[in-house]
């Protein structure tokens, strides 16, 4: 996650299903056989740019388009024209805030954060985007209760502008065990309670399957219970955040079916770090997640 953390710092600023090897191997083999086939369309596919940073953005967009991917995400205004040139969208943009570690749980940062996002909202609207990522920040000795109180106050200041521009603030759930030590929004129930207390339909969560499998498991049950609070999803193989095939523990076809069953119409972003040929691995992930 070092590369993603570095990228984010530069902003302007099942039940987790533990499947037997045979079941996942069958799913993977089926996906392999269907490579190149027309996608089913039940999942809107996206890809996180930072995982493919060694590939020029133009080349990644071309490859994504050929695979049936509709979005290249976690990009700011400088990259949006290139993405649009290929008929793609940026399902979850960035370009505001202070990064993962400096978020809304710190009241000393509220003025700067609110200003950053309020200045960014018109850019999102002009580009045709209606979401933007945000973060809780690290605890730094703060209790979950105090962090919640602080974050609610900061986000409530921002909600009038977000609602006016039709922009949904999407706070990411991240693990604090492996990748983001001390991050506060590291459990689904904390994030859901935050959304409830902020009290706006423009406050939602990014449910990152990789991160929440590490922190709490119970992925499918969590999706079924809390899906109204989820505006975006991310993938990743556990352990190691590599390919989402039969080399890791999550049953992604079952997870995708659970997401589809909730009626979700948004995007699922592939956010794993390829250990093999990056574009071949990306194509495999799309086929694995493209459930009927």
List active site positions: 172, 271
**Partners of 18 in beta bridges:** 250
The CA distance from 73 to 132, in Å, is 10
Task: Measure Cα distances from 131 to 58, 106, 118, 188, 255 in Å.
Answer: 23, 22, 13, 19, 23
Q: Give the rounded distance of the alpha carbon of 155 from its chain centre.
A: 19
**Torsion angle of C-alpha atoms 187, 188, 191, 192, degrees rounded to 10:** -150
Cβ atoms of 150 and 194 within 8 Å: the answer is no
Tokens at 266, concatenated: 């948004």
The CA distance from 26 to 146, in Å, is 47
The sheet that has 44-48: what strands, in order across it?
71-73, 44-48, 267-270, 230-234, 203-208, 168-172, 131-134
DSSP 157-201: HHHHHHHHHT-EEEEEP--TTTTSTTBS--SHHHHHHHHHHHT-T
Cβ atoms of 252 and 29 within 8 Å: the answer is no
Cis peptide before 239 (omega within 30 of 0): yes
**Partners of 206 in beta bridges:** 172, 232
């Amino acid at each position: 996650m070092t590369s993603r953390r570095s990228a984010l710092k530069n902003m302007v600023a099942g039940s987790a299903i533990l499947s037997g090897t045979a079941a996942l191997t069958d799913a993977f083999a089926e996906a392999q056989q269907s490579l190149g086939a027309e996608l089913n369309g039940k999942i809107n596919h996206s890809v996180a740019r930072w995982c493919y940073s060694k590939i020029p953005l133009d080349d990644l967009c071309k490859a994504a388009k050929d695979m049936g991917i509709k979005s290249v995400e976690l990009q700011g205004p400088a990259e949006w024209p290139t993405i649009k040139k290929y008929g793609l969208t940026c399902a979850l943009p960035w370009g505001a805030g202070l990064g993962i570690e400096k978020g809304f749980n710190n009241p000393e940062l509220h003025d700067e954060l609110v200003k950053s996002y309020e200045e960014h909202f018109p850019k999102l609207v002009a580009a045709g985007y209606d979401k933007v990522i945000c973060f809780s920040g690290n605890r730094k000795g703060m209790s979950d209760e105090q962090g919640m109180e602080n974050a609610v106050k900061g986000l409530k200041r921002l909600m009038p502008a977000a609602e006016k521009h039709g922009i949904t603030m999407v706070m990411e759930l991240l693990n604090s065990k492996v990748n983001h030590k001390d991050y506060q929004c590291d459990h689904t129930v904390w994030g859901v309670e935050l959304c409830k207390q902020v009290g706006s339909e423009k406050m939602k969560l990014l449910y990152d399957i990789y991160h929440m499998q590490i922190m709490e498991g119970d992925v499918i049950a969590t999706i079924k219970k809390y899906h109204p609070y989820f505006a975006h999803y991310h993938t990743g193989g556990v352990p190691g955040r590599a390919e989402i095939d039969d080399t890791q523990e999550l049953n992604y076809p079952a997870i995708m079916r659970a997401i589809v069953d909730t009626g979700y119409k948004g995007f699922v972003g592939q956010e794993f770090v390829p250990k093999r040929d990056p574009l071949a691995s990306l194509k495999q992930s799309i086929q694995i997640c493209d459930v009927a």
